[in-house]
Structure 1
Amino acid sequence: MPPALADARPSKPPLATVKAGLAWLGRMLLLIAVPLAILVLASGLAIAIVRVGGDLRLGIDPLTDSASRPRLPLSEVAGRAVAMDAVRQVLMALLVVALAAWAAGGAWRQRLGLTRPVEARASMRRLWLLLPLWPLIHIVWVTTTAAALQMNFANGVRLSPFLSPLMLGLWFAFVVVLAPIAEELLLRGETFARASAFLGPAATIVATALLFCLAHVSLDPGAKGALARPLTLLPLALTLGWLRWRTGRLWPCILLHGWSNFCLIAYQLGPSLLR
């Protein structure tokens, strides 16, 4: 073969490049697998804990098969659903802290963004302006997106009438406190730390945002608009990632997440509560 043709052949990538690519792919797969595994494990444990605890409280054998189980009152069904959500968030937070402690030892607080960053970061003084502006931004985006997807939003939204005052309080704590803490520990804490080890700031923010949206995809095959909620959460997810990178701390993310949830449920439930 003439030398000119021999030089035109594509050269094989060096072995080091192949290994680096495989290592990067492995890190990406682990980045996706770890938060999903924590979510699945926490959900399974929460279901088991609430079901067994509820059955024992009512004098039902938890091992009774489905066909022989007595029909539960609607108040019990609604209460268990709220309790499962709340217990899942607590378990998620505990699992994340345990994983961070295993990975970083005594530096687990720094890994999760619970301490001052080593490098100086932006002050939160100007970022406080985001709090009063965010509800308007978020609600406009959510309502516009829901309208584009032909989904009803804030029309006829009501809480279950079968929830007791205790369960209503637990539901409110779940939405405004427990979910923001657990989800931020998982996504902008542990997952953000893992992504930052091999991705740049922009890619880390996008990766954690997409995982946050993925975790909110409805698994109910009959649910209308299963992808609507993840799409409405995308600006919030990106903003939370930016806050984590900009400040180097997790608490601003928790604060904005809880504030966003509070304003959203106030907007949704306000009309029904005033009737």
Structure 2
Amino acid sequence: MPSIDGAEAALDRPIPPAPVQLGAWLVQALLFVVIPVGLLALAGALAIVLVRVVADLRVGIDVFTPTALRPRLPLYEVAGRGVAADVLRQVLMAAFAIALAVWQDGAAWRRRLALKAPAEPRMSSPLRLWLLMAVWPIIHILWVTETARALNGGVAQGIHLSPFLSPLAIVGWFAYVVVLAPVAEELVMRGEAFARASRIMRPAGVIAATALLFSLAHLSESSGIARPISLLPLAITLGWLRWRTGRLWPCMLLHGWSNLALVTYLLWPARY
């Protein structure tokens, strides 16, 4: 009779995607897109509503006042609300991703989101991981700045944070960029979306699909296609790291490290 440890190890081994019919494949592919995008949209909308309600109550504004009759807010209040909405959106995204995993897989939700060590990790030595961490910021900064320059994306060294941000808001913004966004986005993309795509695609397809979805999720009217293109190498690397290690924490670490390196470079005073 196999041991309990052996049975748990067998459960942790990755299961190759089983052959599926075209109709079922299309449904799973649609859910692969709809669910992560839905989580992002729901978290964003709920964060905006909650921040507006709480902030209005704090400054004594009736939350049901029509937009045309609302008093004009001071700039520091507008800036602070923006940061608060960004922070809350990431917290909600992470909570929704974990709640969805628990609802779908119950007690095995950590395995679904790759928060549990796999029985057979593909990266046996951490040397490659730390080497990647050491050289990646240089690659990321060069790619982001050069693609933005080529596509008129507006990224340049020597930019400044809003002067209307309070010290607390600045701390919140850095926490959002370096910690909260990497954790929440990895839970959704390389956690939930990766697990869902793994049911219907081979590893290369999963890495490519999640990278494309992650990049397009950053599409905005202000930067156009420049930002998705600038994030594509990072997204591919994160997907490869998720597959190679079988864990989510290296993806969170590399994502946060990349964000920290990039914002440090951008905020550093330009010398030209």
**What secondary structure sits across from 1:160 in the alignment?**
coil
Q: Compute the RMSD of aligned alpha carbons.
A: 1.5
Bigger radius of gyration: 1
Structure 1 counterpart of 2:177: 175
2:262 equivalent to 1:264: yes
Q: Percent identity?
A: 61
Instruction: Give 1:146 deviation, angstroms.
Output: 1.6
2:230 equivalent to 1:235: no
After TM superposition, the structure 1 stretch with the greater mean CA deviation from structure 2, 182-191 or 154-163, is: 154-163
CA distance in 1, matches of 2:175, 2:26: 38
CA distance in 1, matches of 2:152, 2:44: 30
Aligned structure 1 segments of 4 or more residues deviating by more than 2 angstroms: 118-121, 123-126, 150-153
- Per the normalisation by structure 2, the TM-score is 0.90
CA distance in 2, matches of 1:259, 1:174: 13
**What secondary structure sits across from 1:271 in the alignment?**
coil
Instruction: Give 1:155 deviation, angstroms.
Output: 4.2
2:98 equivalent to 1:97: yes
Unpaired segments ≥5 residues, structure 1? 1-18
Could you give the per-residue CA deviations for residues 50-100 of structure 1, whole angstroms, max 9, x where no partner exists? Answer: 000000000111111111111100000000001000000000000000000
CA distance in 1, matches of 2:207, 2:165: 37
Equivalent pairs, count? 252
CA distance in 2, matches of 1:93, 1:155: 31
Q: How does 1:174-193 map to 2 (within 5 A)?
A: 174-193=176-195
When residues 31 and 56 of structure 1 are mapped into structure 2, their CA distance, relative to the original with a 3 A threshold, is: same
Instruction: Give 1:149 deviation, angstroms.
Output: 1.2
**What secondary structure sits across from 1:161 in the alignment?**
coil
CA distance in 2, matches of 1:189, 1:86: 20
Unpaired segments ≥5 residues, structure 2? 1-19
After TM superposition, the structure 1 stretch with the greater mean CA deviation from structure 2, 226-235 or 115-124, is: 115-124
Structure 1 counterpart of 2:155: 153
1:215 pairs with one of 214, 217, 220: 217
1:137 pairs with one of 139, 144, 153: 139
2:246 equivalent to 1:245: no
- Using CA pairs under 8 Å that are at least 6 residues apart, name the structure with larger relative contact order, 1 or 2: 2
Amino acid of the structure 2 residue aligned with 1:141: W
Native 8 Å contact 1:146 1:153 kept in 2: yes
Structure 1 counterpart of 2:72: 71
CA distance in 2, matches of 1:88, 1:216: 14
Amino acid of the structure 2 residue aligned with 1:58: V
